[in-house]
């Protein structure tokens, strides 16, 4: 359904937007490679920053802090003249929630792609323990010596890429990087206003759920967007990584968000 909408858009006039796509843990801006041209061919600008220590960013693992991540992202938003559509995948949802409070004037809409949408004071690890559909916790491999958190190689496909091609799985797997052990949680966000770091933002938000997800289970996703209602919920019958397995369907959802902003 979403793919057919994408092909029908070429004759429609729309307001051009800038998308900022924030990747999740262990990934980098590279994960959006299939989605970017689909948005660009409709005339939109697309930014896919690498968070510190991810993708092509060379920040040492030991130097990565939540404060550094948020500083990089606020700097990016500050460099934009117009407000953006801010998309967060997985743990990237924690960042976009905080950014909407730090720079609300810079964000048109928040888009949570199978992402953490948590209320104030929620602890990331406790939430994961309550997600019976997720295989994330048993898939993790702490490296105490490096103060890092890795994903067990044998668990990568089932966790992230269950419906992806073998070629895409191999490509993505070799680009994954360790995460610092601190794993960002909502309650650690720097406070610059009474509401900073909470999910109760005045910025509109939508949710894209992934119904075959084993990193953040579908029930947990629904629990989040029910507790903190979104203006619209899209459903994709994909694994955690719809940007690889179903890029056209995902792009159609993102374009629909822009259409609603211009209508």
Domain containing residue 52: CATH number: 3.40.50.1820
Among residues 18, 21, 149, the alpha carbon closest in space to that of 73 is found at 21
CB 24 within 8 A of CB 244: no
Q: How far is CA 104 from CA 85, 195, 204, 213, in A?
A: 11, 11, 10, 30
pTM of this structure: 0.88
Give residue 54's domain range. Answer: 2-262
Mean pLDDT across the chain: 87
Q: What pLDDT, in 10s, does the model give residues 12-70?
A: 435 699 999 999 999 999 999 999 999 999 999 999 999 999 999 999 999 999 999 99
What's the pLDDT score for residue 181?
84
What's the pLDDT score for residue 130?
78
Q: How many domains does the chain have?
A: 1
Q: Which residue has the higher pLDDT, 262 or 99?
A: 99
CB 55 within 8 A of CB 30: yes
What's the pLDDT score for residue 215?
96
What per-residue string of b and e applies to 214-234 under the rule 16 or more CB within 10 Å gives b? bbbbbebbeebbeebebebeb
What's the pLDDT score for residue 127?
58
Share of residues in the chain with pLDDT > 90 (%): 76
Helices (H), the chain: 2-7, 36-40, 66-78, 92-102, 124-129, 136-139, 156-160, 166-173, 218-227, 242-245, 247-262
CA distance 233 to 154: 32
Among residues 179, 157, 175, 174, the alpha carbon closest in space to that of 166 is found at 157
Least confident of 4-8, 28-32, 148-152, 169-173: 4-8
Q: What pLDDT, in 10s, does the model give residues 196-230?
A: 344 445 899 999 999 999 999 999 999 999 999 99
What's the pLDDT score for residue 256?
97
CB 77 within 8 A of CB 20: yes
């Amino acid at each position: 359904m979403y793919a057919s909408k994408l092909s029908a858009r070429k004759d429609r006039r729309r307001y051009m937007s800038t998308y900022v796509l924030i990747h999740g843990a262990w990934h980098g801006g590279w994960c959006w490679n299939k989605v970017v041209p689909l948005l660009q061919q409709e005339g939109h600008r697309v930014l896919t920053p690498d968070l510190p220590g991810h993708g092509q960013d060379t920040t040492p693992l030991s130097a990565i802090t939540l404060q550094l991540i948020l500083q990089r992202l606020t700097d990016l938003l500050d460099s934009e003249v117009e407000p953006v559509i801010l998309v967060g995948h997985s743990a990237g949802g924690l960042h976009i929630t905080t950014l909407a409070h730090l720079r609300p004037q810079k964000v048109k809409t928040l888009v949570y792609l199978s992402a953490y949408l948590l209320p104030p004071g929620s602890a990331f690890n406790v939430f994961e323990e309550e997600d019976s559909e997720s295989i994330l916790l048993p898939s993790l491999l702490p490296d105490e010596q490096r103060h890092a958190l890795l994903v067990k190689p044998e668990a990568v496909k089932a966790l992230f890429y269950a419906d992806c091609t073998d070629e895409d799985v191999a490509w993505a797997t070799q680009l994954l990087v360790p995460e610092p052990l601190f794993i960002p949680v909502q309650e650690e966000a720097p406070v610059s206003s009474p509401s900073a770091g909470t999910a109760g933002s005045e910025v509109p938000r939508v949710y894209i759920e992934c119904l075959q997800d084993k990193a953040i289970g579908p029930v947990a996703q629904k629990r989040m967007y029910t507790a903190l209602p979104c203006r619209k919920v899209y459903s994709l019958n994909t694994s955690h990584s719809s940007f690889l397995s179903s890029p056209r369907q995902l792009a159609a959802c993102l374009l629909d968000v822009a259409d609603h902003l211009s209508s």
